[in-house]
Every structure is written in structure tokens, then in C-alpha cells.
Structure 1
Amino acid sequence: MADETQRPHPPEDVQEVGSPQQFAALAHPLRQRILFALGHRPATISGLAVQLDTRKGNVAHHLKVLREAGLVYVAETRQVRGGTEQYYQRTARRMLVAEPQGAGTAAMFGAFAQELDRSQAESVVTLRHLRLTAEQARRLGETLARLVDEAEEAPAGEPVHGVLVALYERARPEADGPA
């Protein structure tokens, strides 16, 4: 007996992440994995616990942190067997971190590494350093973002693939002494 008491509304297309509370929320690999899991459809605490192979209490705690940071919301509630089941959804399809911070970036890469470890399919991971002008870097960044945004999604039931895109300027090495 499912009784919808709240209609889901679609997530925003892009949300800019920038508050200290949001960076703190992103600084844990399980919270990153929860955000990945909520990328295509809302899910309950129980469903996420099964999908992420962790305890419901663990998922509930991390969802609370993400919700307080404004990164997820309750999209729908249903009355089931005398209780209320909540379906959580990301607040945005894509989250843009304008000024990445170390802890959040480390957590994102930790979650990425966990996802790779759990994947049974062949993965592609490449790190390459290129000498680029500012204009070339801008164009490459726009092209990469466009490729990901325009990727055509297969119907439900097909495997979900993670895509991690990063373009950054390497820090210049410090001089080893006087020039």
C-alpha cells in the first residue's frame, strides 16, 4: 500500500558548491558514493545501503549531513506498513565545484577509487600532462564538459558508468635554489 504524500520535483541542472558546510559534506568517500548512487533516480536509505554494501544507519547519518549541506533532499515520501519511507534525490544533476578544496577533492578521488575497485568491467584511467596555452586549456575544458553533458544515455536497465573529468594547471616546481 503506497501512498504518495509528496510529489518529486526534478533536480536542478547545475548546482555550484562553495560553502564550508558543503565542502565538509563532500569530504567523505561514502557521501561521494551516495551522491553518485543518487545520480539517476531517487532512492531510500534501505536501497542505498544494499547498493553501497553498507549499514542503513551509516547511510542515514551521511544522508543527514548531505541534506543539511543542501546537496540532497527528500523527493518523495510514502506510507508503508505503518511507517514512512523517504526517497532521497540529489539537488542537482551536476555539481560544479568552482574552487575545489583539498579534503573534498581527496574524498572524491577516494570514492572514485572505491568505485573502480568494485567495478567488474574494464575501466579507462589516463593521466597525461600537456603544455597548453590559456586559450587551448579553456577550449579543451569546454570540449570535455560538452562531451560529458551531451553523452546520450541508454535506457533504464543498462549499466551506469562513472565519468570523472579534471583539467587543471600543474603547480610550478619551486626553485631548488638561487637562479
Structure 2
Amino acid sequence: MTIARVPTDDLPETFHVTTDEQLRAVSNLTRHRIMAMLRFEPATITQIARRVGLAKGSSSYHVRLLERAGLVKVVRTRKVRGVTERYYAMAARSIELPDPGPGQPDVLLRNAVADLEASPVDDERHVRMAHLRLTEEQFTQLGARLQALADEYRTLSDPSLPDVSLVFALFRPAARLQVEGEAE
């Protein structure tokens, strides 16, 4: 058995999604789940299929699309009974998506909501929504604090522990339209 390793320590910090092909690749919920799994440890097509709950052929198809888009890459190979087994990992530590245009879906939030809805209901979850009124400065400070907290806990991540997802969205909602007959 021969194992060839590609170093993962030198991964770029961020991969910026810029092409339509890349956006289509990350927009698919199955591929989103594959990338989430590969974020912590490399895996083969067979391991990906088992962990994500796919047929091996489907797993291979989705990984090929991600690889072609540059989002995942082969980081290690090994020969097993004359067949080369490839281990895939993320191409960067994080992926940055472009902001959706007006009226366009927010891919990241849609995938996060789908993951939340699929998570075990009897498991501990912390889901809250708060409506605030903030100055521009407070809005900016809160965004920075949330990002710093997420970054702090990302450095504490241990691949041997179960996955946990953290999603936050700090935004100004669209202006509420006044309904006819409502007092101004």
C-alpha cells in the first residue's frame, strides 16, 4: 500500500466563489453537506457516501463537480489492491460566497435552514431570533463580535468530536410596506 500525501497545512484561508460553475456547485444541498464533512477531515468517495447517506455513484458525481469547480481537491492517495483510492478535502479553510443580488436566494442561509430542519429535534439546539434597533456603530460592533466568537470557536474545533453548526445572520430587514388603512 502506497500513500501519497498533499499537505493540508498550507491551505489558503479563504476560497472566493466567483464563477457560475462554483456557485452552482455550492448551491446544491448535497454538495453543501459533502463540503461540511470534508472541512474537518479528508475522506474517500466510499466514506463520503456512507457519512452523507448517498449511493457511491452519486457521491462520486457530486465530488467530481466540486473538484471541477475547485472547491475540493485530492489531498492524499493510496493503492489498495491495485486501485488508487483518493482522499478529498476542502480546497481552503473557508468559502466566501458572493452576496445575492436583489431578489436572489441566499444560498448559505437556505442550506443552513435545510440543515437545521434535518437535525434531530430531540437533540439540544439553540435557535433564537431577536429583533433589535441599533445604531450603525452598534450594528457594526455586533457583527464583528459575532465573527470573532465564531472564529474563536473554530480554532477550538476537534475533528474527533461530533459536528456542530453555527449560523448567524445580522441584517436589516426590508422596509415593511404600510398596509392600506393602517395608521401612519
TM-score bucket of the superposed structures, by smaller chain: 0.7 to 0.9
Structure with greater contact order relative to length (CA < 8 Å, sep ≥ 6): 1
Verify the 8 A CA contact 1:32 1:111 in the aligned structure 2: no
* SS of structure 1 residue aligned to 2:78: strand
1:69-107: CA deviation from partner (whole Å, max 9, x where unpaired): 221111111111110111111112222224145162323
> Compared with structure 1, are the counterparts of its residues 177 and 19 closer, same or farther at alpha carbon in structure 2 (3 Å cutoff)?
farther
Q: Is the 8 Å Cα contact of residues 27 and 108 (structure 1) preserved in structure 2?
A: no
The residue aligned with 2:124 is: 122
Equivalent position of 2:139 in the other structure: 137
Query: AA paired with 2:117?
Result: A
2:4 aligned partner: 5
5+ residue gaps, structure 1, are none
Q: What is the match of residue 168 of structure 1?
A: 171
Give % identity: 31
1:9 is matched by which residue type in structure 2?
Answer: T
CA offsets per residue over residues 17-71 of structure 1, 9 Å max, x none?
Answer: 2322222112211111111101111111111111112211111111111112221
Cα 1:144–1:130 change in 2 (3 A) is: same
Contact 2:45 2:56 in 1 (8 A): yes
Larger Rg: 2
Counterpart CA distance in 2 for 1:20 and 1:156 is: 31
Residue identity matched to 1:8? P
| SS across alignment from 2:173 | coil
TM-score after normalising by structure 2: 0.83
Q: 1:7 touches 1:75 (CA, 8 Å); kept in 2? A: yes
* Partner Cα distance (1:146, 1:86) in 2: 35
SS in 1 for 2:166: coil
CA distance in 2, matches of 1:79, 1:122: 41
TM (norm. structure 1) is: 0.86
Deviates more, 1:132-141 or 1:148-157: 148-157
* Conserved 8 A contact 1:12-1:93: yes
What pairs with 1:15-54 in structure 2 (closer than 5 Å)? Answer: 15-54=15-54
